[in-house]
Amino acid sequence: MIAIQHSSLMNVVMIGCIVVAATFGDVLIASAMRQIGDLDTIKEKHGLGGAILAVITNVRFLCGVSAMALSFFSLLFALSHADLSLVVPASASLTVVTNTIAAKLFLRENVDKRRWLAALCICIGVVLVAH
Amino acid sequence: MTFRRYLVLAFVSVSAPFGDTMLDQGMKHIGPVSINHLDTLFHAVSTPWIAGGIVMLIAFFASYLTALSWADLTYVLPATSFGNVVVALLARFWQHEHISLTRWAGIFLITAAVGFVTQGPSYTEHERQDAVPVPDTAMVPEAKEVCR
């Protein structure tokens, strides 16, 4: 009984780590890409090398990648303990909700009713697909 | 939104589920990783399944970055979530697994979500963004929608 409770708590912590790190990563990277601008336009002006350079020299992007790397290793750790069918859908659906909230708060995106409805549908949909 | 941009979003949807499935395959070969031996995770990166998964996820990341350079995060999110539908469809038509009504309902909801979002504008244009590229965009109070 105690082992089951410990396992459930462990799953919650592992999924929580993935979600928090992924949300930080997504928001920082989205913010960096907004700061850099349209990559297609940059590529036209400065070539592929110029576009890559613009991305990898952006501090916000590098912070975002670090957060995504943390999320990635948290995912690997979680996959070695729990089932794919639990870890990926649970973390994915929660990340959609936290990303939508973070995009509204930090990126000032125009998250209208349509996007909130989409986030809700995705969240429920991912849980249903996992069953 | 051009046809090419929709193709980029489609690739975002397909590459991530393939990468995740390869990672799962690799980690199942390695077995449970103890919290006292986290260096096993770094060793895992050199195994074929994990390396293949990483290549797929790098391809996903490149297309994801491209999409984020001309679309909102909340516009790109449904495309990444559509990957769950791709996994379920692969399971049904490639692995011949049974898909329950509940799972079909989930697939319908995610597909509907993608439909909702793609009907709307893809990008929130912030005022003075071009004039002042460096400051945090989160501090810009006024925002308006544009269709690109």
**Each residue's pLDDT tens digit, A86-103:** 787 788 778 888 888 888
CB-based contact B70:B123 (threshold 8 Å): yes
Give the residue carrying structure tokens 């049904």: B92
Residues of A in contact with B38 (CB under 8 A): 77
pLDDT tens track for A23-64: 999 999 999 998 888 888 888 888 888 888 989 999 999 999
Domain that holds residue A24: 2-130
Q: How many domains does chain A have?
A: 1
**CB within 8 Å of A64: residues ≥ 6 apart:** A24, A25, A26, A27, A28, A29, A31, A32
Neighbours of B116 (CB within 10 A): 19
Cβ pairs A/B, distance under 8 A:
169
Tell whether the model's pLDDT for residue B135 goes beyond 70: no
Q: pTM score, two decimals?
A: 0.71
Nearest chain A Cα distance for residue B118, angstroms: 10
Q: Cβ separation of A109 and B129 shorter than 8 Å?
A: no
Complex ipTM tops 0.85: no
d(CA A41, CA B69): 10
Q: Chain B residue with minimal CA distance to A119?
A: B113
Containing B146, the helix (H) or strand (E) segment is: strand B143-146
d(CA A82, CA B26): 14
Nearest chain B Cα distance for residue A14, angstroms: 12
Q: Chain B residue with minimal CA distance to A26?
A: B73
Q: What is the DSSP letter of B125?
A: E
Cα B24 to its chain centre, rounded Å, is 17
Q: Cβ separation of B24 and A31 shorter than 8 Å?
A: no
